[in-house]
Structure 1
Amino acid sequence: MTHPSPTSAFSRRLILQAGAALPAVACMSRETRPVPPPATFTQHRFTSADGTSLSYFRRGNGPPLVWVHGALSLWSDWRDVAERLSPHFTHYVLERRGRGHSADGAGYALEREVEDVLALMRTAGPDAALFGHSYGAVLALEAARQTAPAKLLLYEPPFPITQPVSGPALAEFERALAHEGPDAALVVFNRKVLLTPEHELEAFRQTPQWSRQVEMTPRFARELRALEGLPRGLEAYRQVHTPTLILLGARSPEVLLAQPCRALARTLTHARLGILPGQGHVAHVTAPELLAREVSAFLRE
């Protein structure tokens, strides 16, 4: 019998515990460069409203389900969950702009990414459901304000409720990125926003996951800035009447993630809160079977 190394054991503990706070922990992606899709997925392209050519991956049978991954993440992070649901749903897994095979626009705005989601929903068809995780859940809810999906699933969107998502730490993060590089910026984010204990942060920096996050940090910066531009509170979303499941990990941080989820469940007229026992922000990594069951049960209601 083999035993995990201290580094690998730490990596899993980080995912299970702190693995949580925001896109940075949703980041536990297995690769950061374009990876050929497995034989069970087929790659396709579509064009967004601003003319940007984007990629998505399709697999499955049954009603369409559009997936929008979070920051510091890739479409392939959702393969495990999607594969489990493929006998019953046809997946349209977005490869968000600036990642992998998807092009990037001339200038970034959250609104452009919302247009990307809407374009893929049109490709999937009028009966498509929509799933968004973390920053992708923010995009999904914004898209649902404009075009109602058949059903909506939101896994821990980091909306500012009582305080900004990053607050004063964002300026320090951006200064570090500009003058010291993405590694230093990611350290700032972990220390000042995620409040990662110093010994865990130092151990995390020795893992492969850290270098993968560092590579995606420049894109992460523009997403953090976009989150800071969101208005405090959720009044704008009262107009969303789509049946909605809001997913929350039982171990996720209160202010950054749990508070927005509970507030959304109270605000949206046809929403309910689903708790993922023992999980944090990355149940698609730590408990894909559990997450697949929750998604399937809601979509079959």
Structure 2
Amino acid sequence: MQPTQSADEIGVEFERYGDGQPLLLLHGGMAPTEYWGPVIPEFEGYGAVVPQRPGFGTCLDSPAETNADEVLDREVRYVRALADAVDGDPILFGHSYGALTAIEAATATEVEAVIAYEPAVLPAEYRADADLADRMASLVQNGEPEEAVKRYIEQVLHPDGIDDLDAWLAEWPVWPDCVALAEEVVRMNRSVEQYRLPDRLDVDTPTLVLSGTGGPDFLRQSARAVHDALPHSRFVEFDGVSHSGPAEAPALIAAEVDAFLQN
């Protein structure tokens, strides 16, 4: 990790791969920086920048003590500081909560473009009944953080059900270390449940919004809503790709991203 400090004295840490235009890769909820491992080789012409997200970092880090209503602001300030710490106008590429952060950061940060894969935004009708944060918090308070993380996986990563969750977890590279992130994910989910998508997002930067037909329907719906709220946006949906699209189909998604950036 390369530690550095921005002009407003926010400390940032990141790994950089390559010397091209900085491509800031912002991971989602339960994914550590290793999430971008399959993606980085597809962007050899860029300088991939993988930061330590505040409150997450590696799965062995302790969660940050931050209230839910401060989480998004904290993340946005961090991304802005990161953008200031690298040379040139960066490209922001975010997945899930990282995609929401990228879009919000771009409202007041000089960036070349934004790539947002299924931003963590809830449709109004879905948000009214959203209770994942409460259910996870109850399990954490009862001393069951593993069960709390399982509820997140079932609702966000496998909304259509999974035959053998324990077997799937046994193959998941970050399990069970990321159980330590349960409290931070609770705060993040509360932040998502509180977020209201405006009719218009004040982002002048060209933005590519991506989604996959294999992910949760509510995130596909939200991705389209985010696209509609952006003044300069293109929307692309990948058939059969899940919410983990960037890591699941890196070559397919990278080709679409590269075509967008070259236009």
Does TM-score exceed 0.5, indicating one fold?
A: yes
Instruction: Determine whether 1:174 maps to 2:137.
Output: yes
Q: Cα 1:119–1:172, aligned 2, differ >3 Å: closer, same or farther?
A: same
Deviation at 1:188, TM superposition (A): 3.4
1:137-188 alpha-carbon deviations (Å, 9 max, x no partner): 1111110112241111100012122221871342222111111321121233
Instruction: Determine whether 1:55 maps to 2:13.
Output: yes
Query: Can you give the 5+ residue segments of structure 2 that lack an aligned partner in the other structure?
Result: none
Q: What are the within-5 Å matches in structure 2 for residues 262-281 of structure 1?
A: 262-281=224-243
CA distance in 1, matches of 2:128, 2:47: 34
Identity percentage over the alignment? 29
TM (norm. structure 1) is 0.75
Deviation at 1:202, TM superposition (A): 4.7
Q: 4+ residue stretches of structure 1 with deviation over 6 A?
A: 101-104
Q: Cα 1:125–1:61, aligned 2, differ >3 Å: closer, same or farther?
A: closer
CA distance in 1, matches of 2:210, 2:260: 11
Larger radius of gyration: 1
1:18-68 alpha-carbon deviations (Å, 9 max, x no partner): xxxxxxxxxxxxxxxxxxxxxxxxx31123688553310111132221111
| Stretch deviating more after TM superposition (96-105 or 266-275) | 96-105
Tell me what 1:160 maps to.
Answer: 122
Q: What are the within-5 Å matches in structure 2 for residues 180-199 of structure 1?
A: 180-190=143-153, 195=159, 197=161, 199=163
Tell me what 1:96 maps to.
Answer: 53
Q: Cα 1:160–1:50, aligned 2, differ >3 Å: closer, same or farther?
A: farther
What SS does the aligned partner of 1:80 have?
A: coil
Q: Is the 8 Å Cα contact of residues 12 and 82 (structure 2) preserved in structure 1?
A: no
What SS does the aligned partner of 2:151 have?
A: helix
Tell me what 1:235 maps to.
Answer: 199
Q: Is the 8 Å Cα contact of residues 44 and 55 (structure 1) preserved in structure 2?
A: yes
Tell me what 2:72 maps to.
Answer: 110
Tell me what 2:213 maps to.
Answer: 250
Q: What are the within-5 Å matches in structure 2 for residues 26-65 of structure 1?
A: 43-47=1-5, 53-65=11-23
What SS does the aligned partner of 1:197 have?
A: coil
Tell me what 2:104 maps to.
Answer: 142
TM (norm. structure 2) is 0.85
CA distance in 1, matches of 2:121, 2:227: 13
Q: Is the 8 Å Cα contact of residues 53 and 103 (structure 1) preserved in structure 2?
A: no
Q: Is the 8 Å Cα contact of residues 132 and 154 (structure 1) preserved in structure 2?
A: yes
| Stretch deviating more after TM superposition (106-115 or 262-271) | 106-115
Deviation at 1:105, TM superposition (A): 5.5
Tell me what 2:179 maps to.
Answer: 214
1:226-245 alpha-carbon deviations (Å, 9 max, x no partner): 112212x33251x2121110
Question: Aligned-pair RMSD on alpha carbons?
Answer: 2.7
| Stretch deviating more after TM superposition (262-271 or 178-187) | 178-187
| Stretch deviating more after TM superposition (245-254 or 98-107) | 98-107
Tell me what 1:131 maps to.
Answer: 93
1:212-259 alpha-carbon deviations (Å, 9 max, x no partner): 44343222111111112212x33251x21211100111222211x100
Deviation at 1:71, TM superposition (A): 1.0
Q: Cα 1:261–1:135, aligned 2, differ >3 Å: closer, same or farther?
A: same
Number of aligned pairs? Answer: 255
Tell me what 1:223 maps to.
Answer: 188
CA distance in 2, matches of 1:142, 1:241: 12
| Stretch deviating more after TM superposition (284-293 or 131-140) | 284-293
| Stretch deviating more after TM superposition (138-147 or 54-63) | 54-63
CA distance in 2, matches of 1:248, 1:218: 27
Q: Which amino acid aligns with 2:135?
A: E
CA distance in 2, matches of 1:102, 1:79: 19
Q: Is the 8 Å Cα contact of residues 154 and 244 (structure 1) preserved in structure 2?
A: yes
1:60-99 alpha-carbon deviations (Å, 9 max, x no partner): 132221111111111221122112212x111221121231
Q: Which amino acid aligns with 2:29?
A: A
Q: Cα 1:76–1:186, aligned 2, differ >3 Å: closer, same or farther?
A: closer
Q: Cα 1:188–1:83, aligned 2, differ >3 Å: closer, same or farther?
A: closer
